Chain A
Amino acid sequence: MSAEVAIEVKELGKRFGGVQAVDGVSFSIEPGEIFGFMGHNGAGKTTTLRMLLGLTRPTSGSATVLGHDIVGATLAVRRVSGYLPASYALPPDMSAREFLHYVAAMFAIPRKVAADRAEALIERFGLSAAADRKLRGFSTGMTQKVGLAQALINEPRVLFLDEPTSGLDPLGRHELLEHLRGLSRDHGVTIVFSSHILSDVETLCRRVAALHHARLIACGEIAALKREHGVATMDELYLSLVRRQAA
């Protein structure tokens, strides 16, 4: 594995029957970077993330995560990764604490270590008062906090977040973005941040990839892309990219 590359994606593609969901996407992400992944719904962001985690098998191309091949070493990729899907549910009959222990057991984390990490995450996400309540009664924001906590229980070196701010109120969103910055800055965690909320992407990321109709239409530093397209905001940048693609 090259020290300069945490994630390397080469001509990655996925076809579902007659539908090309991801088409020849290539990019690379540096270690400790927070990398933005933007595009409209159905652009191929989620499918790309799922391929990187070995949840969906690519039909073309290749990729590595911290040097592990996403097809040949799927479990090794998952061992070093955390993942928060865009759409998910938590087991309704478990409490937040039980669920964190359960996920820790899936990583074969020793019981004492798992207990310490679970407590730390419960505290960090302000879940102490609700930690022993069943998850079936949790609000969207609380569910998202538990979802994030489970993604961090293995102290991942790479974090894949698919629309993590959806469902969060402004304060929750601010706290999450701050937390992600801290993970990147203090712990060197590489974060792939997929979102169609462009302000979040701009707040958090230095570099982005934009997907449109399954294809990568831009990849690079946000500031450079803005300069290149002569625009001031992320919304204008995205519209410019999409219009250029349409033309």
Chain B
Amino acid sequence: MRLALLDYRATLRERKTWLAAAMLVYAVLAIPILLERPPEHVREAIAAWFGDADPFAVFMFVWIDLVMNKIVAFIPVILASGVLLRERDTGVLAVLAAKPISMSHYFVIRTLSVCAVMLTLHAATQLVGVLWFPGRVAGFRPATFLAAMSLHAFSAVFATAFAAVVIVAVGRRGPGVLVALMLLGLLVGLALVGFYQPAWSAATLVNPLTLGALAMRDLAGLSAGTLLPPMLALVGLTALTIAIGARLARRVEA
């Protein structure tokens, strides 16, 4: 536990974490400005999907799909790229692998640590948003926003664990990062298909990033009953993903 905490603190201080934080701050500050005068094609797309919907619903669509989902395809890969393989490539693992912790155990600790960093960044972003958006986003509802984004945070954590596992499975850092970006990009691209094509709605539930965006379906009636099942599903998927990664990590040699 103490090792995980020290690792979390160390990861928080890394340059890449600060880079990710800067991206998120930029997103929070920029979105209200962009939403004032969205590009014509975005305006048309939103009108087609939402008609004259509640402006808050339009904002949530933009925030989840165009901002946080894109970030979830990117930042987790940056964070997870350091798990085991960067340590192996730089020579740090030569020292750490000789300690009384198996490679599987160490992978789990490192992955939980970067997941916690992702969760911290995600939560901090939403909290900054709750302070920044009122008055700048029409019809902004802080409680609904936080409830919807708390579900989304679980998909961000899943994406981080998934990226760590993919990179370790590929076995080489550069190609692993590219494969993780492609796979997460694919999951993000398909995440909201069920909203545009209701006939595919049930099928898209196999996509963990769809689960993270399910709050979009019923923003007016969010409750524990609607949020808890996808949260639990994402926790299970994340645990399963990390368990697979722990098995794969046995192959990594310092």
Give me the interface of A with B, judged by CB distance under 8 Å.
53, 55-56, 75-76, 78-79, 81, 83-85, 87-91, 93-94, 98, 101-103, 105-108, 111, 147, 150, 160
A81 to B100, CA, bound (A): 9
List 21 A–B pairs whose Cβ atoms lie within 8 Å, in order of A's numbering: A75-B100, A79-B100, A81-B98, A83-B98, A85-B95, A87-B91, A88-B91, A88-B94, A88-B95, A89-B94, A90-B95, A91-B87, A93-B10, A93-B13, A98-B10, A102-B3, A102-B6, A103-B95, A103-B99, A105-B6, A147-B95
Q: Are B96 and A106 in contact (CB under 8 A)?
A: yes
Q: Chain A residues near B87: list those with CB within 8 A.
A: 91
Q: Are A150 and B253 in contact (CB under 8 A)?
A: no
B15 within 8 A of A: yes
B66 within 8 A of A: no
CB distance from B105 to the nearest CB of A (A): 9
- Of B90, B98, B100, most buried by chain A (CB within 10 Å of CB) is B98
Nearest to A57 among chain B residues (CB) is B253
Q: Digit string of B85-119 for contact with A (CB within 8 Å is 1, else 0)?
A: 00100111011111111100000000000000000
B25 within 8 A of A: no
Nearest to B97 among chain A residues (CB) is A55
Q: Chain B residues near A108: list those with CB within 8 A.
A: 2
Nearest to B96 among chain A residues (CB) is A106
A105 to B2, CA, bound (A): 6
| Among candidates B10, B94, B254, residue contacting A94 with C-beta atoms closer than 8 Å | B10
Q: Chain A residues near B13: list those with CB within 8 A.
A: 93
B14 within 8 A of A: yes
- Of B92, B94, B99, most buried by chain A (CB within 10 Å of CB) is B99
Q: Chain B residues near A76: list those with CB within 8 A.
A: 100
A187 to B239, CA, bound (A): 44
* List of 3 A-B pairs having minimum Cβ-Cβ separation, nearest first: A89-B91, A105-B3, A83-B98
Q: Are A106 and B99 in contact (CB under 8 A)?
A: yes
Q: Are A101 and B6 in contact (CB under 8 A)?
A: yes
| Among candidates B3, B7, B90, B253, residue contacting A55 with C-beta atoms closer than 8 Å | B253
Nearest to B254 among chain A residues (CB) is A55
Q: Chain A residues near B7: list those with CB within 8 A.
A: 102
How many residue-residue contacts, CB under 8 A, span A and B?
A: 66
Q: Are A78 and B98 in contact (CB under 8 A)?
A: yes
Task: Bin chain B's interface residue count.
Answer: 20 to 34
Q: Digit string of B1-22 for contact with A (CB within 8 Å is 1, else 0)?
A: 0110011001001110000000
A89 to B87, CA, bound (A): 9
Q: Are A91 and B10 in contact (CB under 8 A)?
A: yes
| Among candidates A78, A79, A87, A106, residue contacting B94 with C-beta atoms closer than 8 Å | A87
Q: Chain B residues near A83: list those with CB within 8 A.
A: 95, 98
A94 to B98, CA, bound (A): 19
Q: Are A98 and B102 in contact (CB under 8 A)?
A: no
Q: Are B6 and A78 in contact (CB under 8 A)?
A: no
Q: Chain A residues near B254: list those with CB within 8 A.
A: 55
Nearest to B87 among chain A residues (CB) is A91
Q: Are B95 and A78 in contact (CB under 8 A)?
A: no
Q: Chain A residues near B99: list those with CB within 8 A.
A: 78, 103, 106-107
Q: Are A111 and B91 in contact (CB under 8 A)?
A: no
Known: A79-B100, A89-B90, A102-B7. 13 other contacts (CB 8 A): A75-B100, A78-B98, A85-B94, A87-B94, A88-B91, A91-B87, A93-B10, A93-B13, A98-B10, A103-B95, A106-B99, A107-B99, A160-B98
A117 to B15, CA, bound (A): 29
Q: Chain A residues near B3: list those with CB within 8 A.
A: 102, 105-106
Q: Chain B residues near A55: list those with CB within 8 A.
A: 97-98, 253-254
Q: Digit string of B66-95 for contact with A (CB within 8 Å is 1, else 0)?
A: 000000000000000000000100111011
CB distance from A205 to the nearest CB of B (A): 22
A111 to B95, CA, bound (A): 21
CB distance from A104 to the nearest CB of B (A): 9
| Among candidates A78, A89, A98, residue contacting B100 with C-beta atoms closer than 8 Å | A78
- Of B95, B96, B254, most buried by chain A (CB within 10 Å of CB) is B95
CB distance from A30 to the nearest CB of B (A): 22
Nearest to B10 among chain A residues (CB) is A94
Q: Chain A residues near B6: list those with CB within 8 A.
A: 98, 101-102, 105
Q: Chain A residues near B14: list those with CB within 8 A.
A: 93
A78 to B102, CA, bound (A): 10
Q: Are A106 and B101 in contact (CB under 8 A)?
A: yes
Nearest to B93 among chain A residues (CB) is A88
CB distance from B26 to the nearest CB of A (A): 23
A127 to B83, CA, bound (A): 28
Q: Are A56 and B100 in contact (CB under 8 A)?
A: no
